[in-house]
Amino acid sequence: MSNQLYSGKTVVITGAGSGIGQAMAVAFAQAGASLAVLDLNQEQLSETLDLLISSNAKASGFACDVSQSTQVQSAVDKIQLAFGSIDVWINNAGIAHVGNIEATAEADLDRLYNVNIKGVYNGMLAVLPIMKQQNGGAILNMASIAAKVGIADRFAYSMTKGAVLTMSLSVAKDYVTQNIRCNCICPARVHTPFVDGFIAKNYPGQEREVFDNLAAYQPIGRMGEPAEIAQLALFLCSDNAKFITASAYDIDGGVTSLR
């Protein structure tokens, strides 16, 4: 894609401190966007910000807990003041939980709801008035194949990603006449620092075996890479995708169709 594709546009990415969020920040910066990156982890946020600034991107970082509406609104106010517009909003921040319904405590359910569902709601609610005033914008939400297929021991996580998908459809429907598009991405497993940390914590001494098993779940034979997810996001939020809204794009190595 042209490195001028996002020239003059402001892109906001939540959960941009590592993994997919960081990869998306780098990709959008390379495409000429001005970046506002949000993350709860200040250290990781600083790493992403340093990465962007070292590549001469126009970027600002905001420490933000997306589950707290006041923090999200504060960040949006600061971003609008600093950049003048918000053209793309990407709800990428999210957390995981392993367990079936019997292994999911009420506290686990609430914790995932607060970040994965309420966090997406908070982001869209804060940015929509700005996009309405601008007469346009693109919202991209990070869902998962867990919103479409049954995955063992992912009860709470699947619940939240199903909600992300349907929230995306609802917002797309309600704001289509105001030139605001809303889509979501549904990845399978993606090789991020979270995956490595999860395996090391829960399967000490079995890291390679577990990693290979997780990779083999995808019919294509491997996990996705953050940069591959970023390239799909880059397209969906661009003017090249102006005819696309209310879509849930699988990027899953064949899981939803070939398993």
Catalytic positions: 157
Whether the CB-CB separation of 14 and 91 falls below 8 Å is answered with: yes
Q: Find out whether 16 and 37 touch, Cβ atoms under 8 Å.
A: yes
- Output phi, psi for 107, to 5 deg: -65, -35
> How many other C-beta atoms can be found within 10 angstroms of the C-beta atom of residue 225?
14
SS3 215: helix
Structure tokens at 178: 């105001």
248 and 168 Cβ atoms separated by less than 8 Å: yes
**Rounded-to-integer distance, Cα 74 and Cα 91, Å:** 16
Rounded-to-integer distance, Cα 257 and Cα 179, Å: 32
Query: Cα(145)–Cα(84) distance, rounded to whole angstroms?
Result: 35
Place of tokens 């309600």: 174
As a whole number of angstroms, the distance between CA 36 and CA 58 comes to 9
CA distance 20 to 52: 15
Choose among 69, 65, 74: nearest CA to 45: 65
Residue 233's identity, in one-letter code, is A
Contact 185, 143 (CB under 8 A): yes
